[in-house]
Amino acid sequence: MKKMIQLAAVAAVASVFAGQAVARDLTVVSFGGANKEAQVAAFYQPFEKATGQKVVGVDYNGEVAKVKAMVEAGKVTWDVVEVESPEVLRGCEEGVYEKIDPKLIGGKAAFLPGTVSECGVGIFVWSTAIAYNADKLKTGPTSWADFWDVKKFPGKRGLRKGAKYTLEFALLADGVKPADVYKVLGTKAGVDRAFKKLDQLKANIQWWEAGAQPPQFLASGDVVMSSAYNGRIDAAQKEGKNLKIVWNGSIWDIDSWVIPKGSPNKEQALKFVQFASKPENQKTYSHKIAYGPTNKSAVGMIDPKVLPTLPTAPANLNGALGINVQFWVDHGEELEERFNAWAAK
């Protein structure tokens, strides 16, 4: 009976989409905004010029469920997708992504450690940090403790809606050392402690979901400070906005290319990943937006003026921590759900 229902449903859906399964352009999915603009200039356009293959860019906010749905339905319309690192591991374990041979991109050794895995190739290192509008705040915050201090800095704060990063920041604000954050968060008491700390700030939080929102919130004065992707703040600075980044207590992560399993454009997708991982193209990308390259040879090509703005600059790594991928693969769902319960109260 179940098989029959499924067959009927598949037939119904298939008849609707029949005739659409023709060759299409290479579809590359990214987080949009300033990040995508940089990708267009550094990857899409040069790739089109070099190969003649047209690239179509699609935006998303990290909803990898769509990829899974496509793969399970056998109707893959995304060819290359930019995902955050816990998603690389999780999706790879679930068999949602194609394996990528490291030889294709010049071997694992050519990249920063941990940026190339079975299914993913690191694109760039990015960071979530505190940002504030220096036109509105004469003396800015210097730590997450300041971020929580509504007496010293009255007004709303922006935070990314979700448990990831938010819980880490709460613990940092509560005085946990960066090195101990995941140890504390791994216990029930630690999670309770993080939510308790968030309770203190809750009334003053304005949540954001898309990376383009924090610079807008800061510029319009909706919030006095916000967590933000460092590249978006850098892009706003280039547009003349007087926004500042506080690197202390920032969390860095790596975004990677993955290829959904069963993509009809797999050959082209692999070529695209190969092309985008070349040092000269990664260099162009880092010059357009302040995210650090993963290809070791690209690191040396970066303009010395750009270097201090990247999350990988030694000064910026001071007091920063890297995201614990395994922790979020294991605890992500439970904590996101608890976060939802908390936020909805």
> With respect to other proteins, which residue has the nearer C-beta, 17 or 207?
207
User: Binding of other proteins at residue 66 (CB under 8 A)?
Assistant: yes
Residues 87-116 contacting other proteins, CB under 8 A: 90, 93-96
Q: Which residues contact 199 (CB under 8 A, 6 or more apart)?
A: none
User: Binding of other proteins at residue 59 (CB under 8 A)?
Assistant: no
Structural contact between residues 231 and 288, judged by C-beta atoms closer than 8 angstroms: no
User: Binding of other proteins at residue 8 (CB under 8 A)?
Assistant: yes
Q: Which residue's entry shows tokens 């921590």? A: 321
Structural contact between residues 309 and 156, judged by C-beta atoms closer than 8 angstroms: no
User: Binding of other proteins at residue 241 (CB under 8 A)?
Assistant: no
Q: Write the interaction track for other proteins spanning residues 179-208; mark x where CB under 8 A is met and - where it is not.
A: -------------x--x----------xx-
Of these, 18, 65, 109, 315, which contacts other proteins (CB under 8 A)? 65
Q: Which segment (77-85, 128-136, 241-249, 334-342) binds other proteins by CB under 8 A?
A: 334-342
Count, in order, helices (H) and strands (E) of the chain: 16, 10
Q: Where are the alpha helices (DSSP H) in the chain?
A: 2-17, 33-39, 45-51, 65-73, 85-93, 144-148, 166-173, 181-185, 188-201, 213-220, 230-238, 266-276, 279-288, 296-301, 314-317, 325-343
> With respect to other proteins, which residue has the nearer C-beta, 42 or 236?
236
The structure tokens listed for 336 are 């996101």
> With respect to other proteins, which residue has the nearer C-beta, 48 or 222?
222
> With respect to other proteins, which residue has the nearer C-beta, 160 or 271?
160
Q: Which residue's entry shows tokens 């904590």? A: 335
Q: Which residue's entry shows tokens 């990063």? A: 165
Which residue ranges make up the site for other proteins (CB under 8 A)?
2, 5-6, 8-9, 12, 63-66, 68, 90, 93-96, 161, 192, 195, 206-207, 220-222, 326, 329-338, 340-345
